[in-house]
Structure 1
Amino acid sequence: MKKLWFTGQSFSEAAEELSVNEKAAQAMLAALKTVHSLSAPTDGALEGLERQRQSQNILGRLVSPELGYSWEPFQLGSMPMAWARPECGHDRHHVVLYCHGGGYTSGNLGYARVLASKLAKSTGYEVLSFEYRLAPEHPYPAALEDALAAWDYLMELGYGARDVVLAGDSAGGNLALVLTQALKEAGRRLPGKLVLCSPWTDMSCSGDSYEAHKEDDPVLTRAYLEAVRQAYAPQGGWDQPELSPLFQDVSGFPPVLVQYGGHEILADDAIRLKKHLDEAGVPNVLQCWPEMWHVFQMFPLPQSQQAMERVAAFVLDY
């Protein structure tokens, strides 16, 4: 039984709004299933890489970015980057470094723009996105090297490490954690906070949710994840800390916010990460939307708005 919260609405008005919201979610699910069915590998091999990348671009175009911000692309050497800057008055002393998702094999600034704009709007911080090199043309550690270059660029601009919120979705969540670990191992200062949306923390795919939610998840399949991990790290060793942050030594990490959808096969990647952070004494918050899917924050839904409000509360008040 769903709860209805009233703010001067009649019962019928609130019920109608809930019905509209549910229909919107169902429409989004149908679109996701269509895009996924056209692009996901059907076996263990990474087939149709260009088709997969095109579907990621289509998904980025299907979901309109937020209004009220500027989008300023530029190049850092050969790496495309972009600033999402709130157009209203905003905090210029803090910044978000955002790592986009896409299984390390797809995704670009067009895809990154959606969540980057939402992060800018919700936090009031400027958001820097970067288009890291993709596998299989550029396997591990190319993406990490590019993330380090983006981090160094912020340091050169004069930001302190603690002024940076490091954010990422899906494989970008993996990259955010791996980047934090690389900074730690180099004896460098760490970001102030981490914000992770449906992070892929275990490339060995050992969580029970892979089986439990295989019929519920409209976005991911085990075959897809096994294919893209093979492209990204063909040498194997997918349970090693440099590939699977779930097995890192996370002691000393900054506070971490993890959000995930209850219908995704990566649910255990989020749940087990929280347990791992707890055991290491790292402050963290885990938030679940039971009926949502992988990186639902991208979509124009009430649940997405609520999730971004909680991101803002964590970033600004935690």
Structure 2
Amino acid sequence: MTSNIAIKSDALRDLYAEWTTLMTDNPTMGMRLFRSIFDEWHQPTVEPEDVTYREEVVGGVPGIWCLPAGADESQVMLFTHGGGFAVGSASSHRKVAAHVAKTLGVTSFVLDYRRAPEHPHPAQIEDGVAVFDALVERGIDPNNITTIGDSAGGNLAIAIPLALKEQGKPTPGQVIVFSPWLDMENEGETLKTNNDTDALITPELLAGMIAGVLGDKIDPRTPLANPLYADFTGFPRLYVNAGSVESLVDNATRLQERTEAAGVDITVNIAEGQQHVFPFLAGRSDVVTEELARIRDWYGSAR
């Protein structure tokens, strides 16, 4: 007999399968519809209790604050949403960001950064840096800022500290990434080995998104676009998770190899049987409840 948790936990895979069907059946889908579909990303996530939301423009960048009751407002998560740099939004990710913020007892600002293809690389990183700078100007200690993101937003959560370091500025105290998409060369081994188990990601989907954000002028090995080529010397402590059946899982493991070689304090969890950005099942899945508790313990260990 299948457990209720297992049934509920199919919600993310089912959503991805529906999107895949829609994209396959409509190969010439326009960007407006494409973005509307991905704004459904919040649907598998249960609305967290005792959290309020506020829209604001921070550092010239619009976004949504997630404000759990009793949260420490001196600690801020700068959350960059996933979606291939082209889709996804603060609205699609506010619930998952709120679950993490509530678990950690902090606040979160989810950016509506400029998206490709209208705004190619490095516009998204520039927006993240602008928000970080604005938070520091407001009196937030850089060490109390966490850059966090999923998929392409996980790429940005890593690239923003790298850009800050290049500019000689303070960097966040820690970085958290869910299912990071880093490989702009589109050559990961698990793109092949997990192709039949990942309900969303395909090399073809990624190729289109790479073309949108990098075009034909930016080298896919550019470190701020592809952090697998970055110098991680002095990088903040880092927490990474991914699902074992997703096609991008080796982006997480290659990141682990790169950062460990540079002496970074990194913690990685590969969740068995989980899809891309499995924390979207927050409130539905015991696996995610346990993962959020793991992140809370990791975060609190440095406080």
| 1:20 and 2:4 correspond | yes
Aligned to 1:134: 115
Which of 254, 270, 287 does residue 252 from structure 2 map onto? Answer: 270
| 1:34 and 2:15 correspond | no
| 1:117 and 2:98 correspond | yes
| 1:65 and 2:51 correspond | no
1:51 is displaced (CA, Å) by 2.3
Which residue type is aligned with residue 31 of structure 2?
Answer: L
Which residue type is aligned with residue 164 of structure 1?
Answer: I
Q: Is the 8 A contact 1:40 1:224 kept in 2?
A: no
Cα separation, partners in 2 of 1:135 and 1:297, compared to 1, 3 Å: same
Distance 1:26 1:128 in 2: 28
Runs (5+) with no aligned partner, structure 2: none
Q: Is the 8 A contact 1:173 1:199 kept in 2?
A: yes
Aligned to 1:3: none
| 1:310 and 2:294 correspond | yes
Aligned to 1:83: 65
Cα separation, partners in 2 of 1:174 and 1:77, compared to 1, 3 Å: closer
Distance 1:50 1:59 in 2: 15
Aligned to 2:267: 285
TM-score by length of 2: 0.93
Distance 1:160 1:76 in 2: 16
Which residue type is aligned with residue 18 of structure 2?
Answer: T
Cα separation, partners in 2 of 1:62 and 1:50, compared to 1, 3 Å: farther
Q: Is the 8 A contact 1:84 1:120 kept in 2?
A: yes
Q: For the aligned residues, what is the CA RMSD?
A: 1.8
1:64 is displaced (CA, Å) by 3.3
Tell which structure's C-alpha radius of gyration is larger: 1
Deviations 1:142-172 (A, max 9, x none): 1111111111111111011111111111001
Deviations 1:246-267 (A, max 9, x none): 1100110011000000011101
Report the identity percentage.
29
TM-score by length of 1: 0.89
Runs (5+) with no aligned partner, structure 1: 1-15
1:39 is displaced (CA, Å) by 3.3
1:210 is displaced (CA, Å) by 0.5
Which residue type is aligned with residue 195 of structure 1?
Answer: I
Which residue type is aligned with residue 314 of structure 1?
Answer: W
| 1:164 and 2:164 correspond | no
Which of 182, 196, 200 does residue 215 from structure 1 map onto? Answer: 196
1:63 is displaced (CA, Å) by 2.9
Q: Is the 8 A contact 2:11 2:44 kept in 1?
A: no
Q: Count the aligned residue pairs.
A: 299
